[in-house]
Amino acid sequence: MDKLTLIKVGGKIVEEQETLSRLLVAFAAIPGRKVLVHGGGRSATAMASRLGIESRMVGGRRITDKSMLEVVTMVYGGLVNKNIVAGLQAVGVNALGMTGADMNILLSDKRPAGEVDYGYVGDVRHADGKALTGLIEMGVVPVIAPLTHDGKGSMLNTNADTMAGETAKALAPYYDVSLVYCFEKKGVLRDEKDDESVIPEIDFSLFQEYREKGIIQGGMIPKLENAFEAIRHGVCEVIITRADCIGQKDRGTRIVG
């Protein structure tokens, strides 16, 4: 099968012009078929503030009521997504910006209220790899915003790491998929204060050990959980690295099953 690279990039990187420009050049240089999934949380928070809408977070996750759903739909699916698309066109990448609702590529269920009611937040139920493959084989590069829909007319705010993992899994029957999670560090660190303490490779047993010891914590835990889930469902490799290192052969932390 042909190789496909799926890049997931965090909001901070795509929201600042300097880091976005470097990302776009590095992404354009990746050979072959590719997909980009992005975040945009800081832009959503800033826009909400300008509109007088309070941003509420629990455990690093956004509470999405009806007003906030309107904000994230505008910001993720509009402002951030189209800025990335325009930037990619400028470096020769024929990009198409989309959300999970477009072509029905990502269908979700609204998360049920538990101890915390996250509101209009979606848990992915189905990702249509065949539909995405049709676009990719036309020479189009999908740029996917972290929004899905419920099939009943409602948009849902959806975690971008999860969307990247689910999209990679859906494309795995059609391509040899490499999933690359990009953020501000060179990889998963043994010591969060030491940027050079990159762990070169993590399997599931090492993940459990480091989690128990507190070496791996916070937002890195769900990122790694998504990575292992992707490997179990046929994704060839998962890399966690810094955005400007995506084109390098030996980069970041490699996740193995």
Binding residues are 40-41, 62, 157
| C-beta neighbour count of 26 within 10 angstroms | 18
Q: Which residues are annotated as a binding site for substrate?
A: 40-41, 62, 157
Around Cβ 215, how many Cβ atoms within 10 Å?
18
